[in-house]
Amino acid sequence: MTRINTNVPSMIAQQRLNRSGLDLQLRLERLSTGLRINRGKDDPAGLIISERLGTDIATIGQAIKNGERASSVIATTEGSLTEITDLLNSIKSLAVEAANTGALSDEERAANQLQIDSAIQSITRISNTASFGGLKLLDGSLDYITSGISSTEISDATITSASFISSSSVNVDVDVISSAQKGNLYLSGDNSGTGDGTILSQTTIQIRGPEGVRELVLTSGMTFQKVSDAVNALSELTGVEAALVNGNALSGLVFSSSAYGSDSFVSVERLDTPTTGNNWTLYRLDGNAAIPANGVPWGDPNLLSDVTRDEGADVSALINGILATGKGLNVSINSPSLGMELLLNESYATDPTLTTATFDITGGGSLFQLGPDITALQQTNIGIQSTSSENLGGTLVGTELQFLSSLSSGQANSLDSAAGRNDFSALQNIVDKSIDNVSILRGRLGAFERNVLDTNRRSLQTAFENLTASRSVIRDADFAKESSELTRAQILQSAGTSVLALANQQSQQVLQLLG
């Protein structure tokens, strides 16, 4: 090599030295950061997918935190509900003690009433003060807001869940397709002009209902009105009541279960041997058809005679086109988009010809974001009703809906009022319904935590682990490989430096030609 203006070997050595220097710098960067991809040029496609995975990991991590916070909210709520349950149990015990009027003085009953008043006030206080981070839990703030409910159609509505998808409100249509019925047995009052509306011969009957069984002796000539009075005097013990058909003894007498629904029944059975001239033949309408307005049509082919028992029927209704579960006058649904329980008004639940009842859910509820994407499919909305004494225990007493607050001093169902009418049944029913309200709410929240939050958290944690592992494979540096490559780069860098020095010295050998 005798040219000196251009040192080609030096240029080659410099290029190789620069390349080995860049490789050495790359290995040092990866080993110092622990990442294989530090900038886009390291792996453009890998950077894109790793960043997407990083976004998924971040949102899933937040979703896991959301679930954990939701569990904390529910745990706090249940702690307050547990205290309310204890207070309700104490009220039930005090009421049972007060019902023992033969062994309890007025002063003791008054002391029990003071304790009940205190417990009711404590229930309302807990309901109004239970909170989590400033979020009120049991005062109704997390309940749904409804509009347009008519009391002539729906006596009480409990909304458990509603999904507001692309809408600020949810319209609800309730269409009764099959009426609620009581168990009914009919006794004719038409005896061809002989003793119409009376018992023709002495008869012993056994009356059985959901509450128990009793026997009655009906004397010859006893009017149907007196029979009705005798049966009704025992209705608290049997769950069976009686009334004249259309208020007219000649139209007959109807024995009915006190409540509506398939769990209610009426049984009236004659115990003695029938005699000549006896008019004891009971009828029921096949399929629980409603009794006609003009009395019992004895020629109606739907009538079944010589029966002793009849069951009631649950109301059947469509809610937004979904067949609801009926139980007495109550209907309920639990679909992914809507969950509720409605207590229908008696007149509405027993007449399928009435127009569809309509109301709106305009907002409210407690929305939980359970997934990494803000969509309705990854959200759950549940309602938490108020547990104050004015909202617990809604029970129909006659035609009026009464609540736990009615057990306070001076109210309709206080101990003195119940003792005065010698009837503690309404008080007991309200307390039992209050306990059911709280228990069902606790069960619903527990089921939500166990079947939704816990399973969702485990699923998200699995996804978090797998996505993190996948991102690590793509982006993290393999230290064994990088250490090996670092050693190689260091050797090449040292060799390149030595070669460059040799290349630079090669041009000086031309001087030997000049002598």
Phi, psi dihedrals of residue 466, rounded to the nearest 5°? -65, -40
The rounded distance, in Å, linking the Cα atoms of 322 and 490 is 75
In a domain? residue 132: yes
Angle between helices 8-33 and 479-506 (to 10 degrees): 160
In a domain? residue 175: no
In a domain? residue 386: no
What's the CA angle centered on 208, arms 207 and 214, to 5 degrees?
55
The rounded distance, in Å, linking the Cα atoms of 448 and 75 is 12
**Both tokens assigned to 270:** 């004659």
Residue 217 and residue 305 share a domain: yes
Of the ranges 294-298, 300-304, 412-416, which is most confident? 412-416
State the burial class of residue 400 (Cβ atoms within 10 Å of its Cβ: 0-12, 13-18, 19+).
exposed
Residue 420 and residue 494 share a domain: no
pTM (two decimals) = 0.77
Place of tokens 């000539």: 221
Residue pair 235/229 in contact by the 8 Å Cβ criterion: no
Residue 459 has pLDDT above 50, yes or no: yes
Q: Work out how many domains the chain is built from and give that number.
A: 3
At 103-159, the pLDDT tens digits run: 888 888 899 999 999 999 999 999 999 999 889 999 988 999 999 999 899 998 999
Residue 17 and residue 129 share a domain: no
Residue 238 and residue 214 share a domain: yes
Task: State which residues form the domain around 16.
Answer: 8-34+477-514
Of the two residues 65 and 27, the one the predictor is more confident about is 65
In a domain? residue 167: no
In a domain? residue 172: no
30-39: long-range contacts (C-beta < 8 A, 24 or more apart)?
30/477, 30/482, 31/477, 31/479, 31/482, 31/483, 31/486, 33/477, 34/476, 34/477, 34/479, 35/475, 35/476, 35/477, 36/474, 36/475, 36/476, 36/477, 36/478, 37/474, 37/475
Other CB atoms closer than 10 Å to residue 249's CB: what's the count?
19
Residue 466 and residue 413 share a domain: yes
How many CA atoms within 13 Å lie on the side-chain side of 99? 13
Other CB atoms closer than 10 Å to residue 421's CB: what's the count?
9
At 385-398, the pLDDT tens digits run: 999 999 998 888 87
- What confidence score (pLDDT) does residue 299 get? 45
The rounded distance, in Å, linking the Cα atoms of 347 and 98 is 35
At 336-367, the pLDDT tens digits run: 888 999 999 999 999 999 999 999 999 888 88
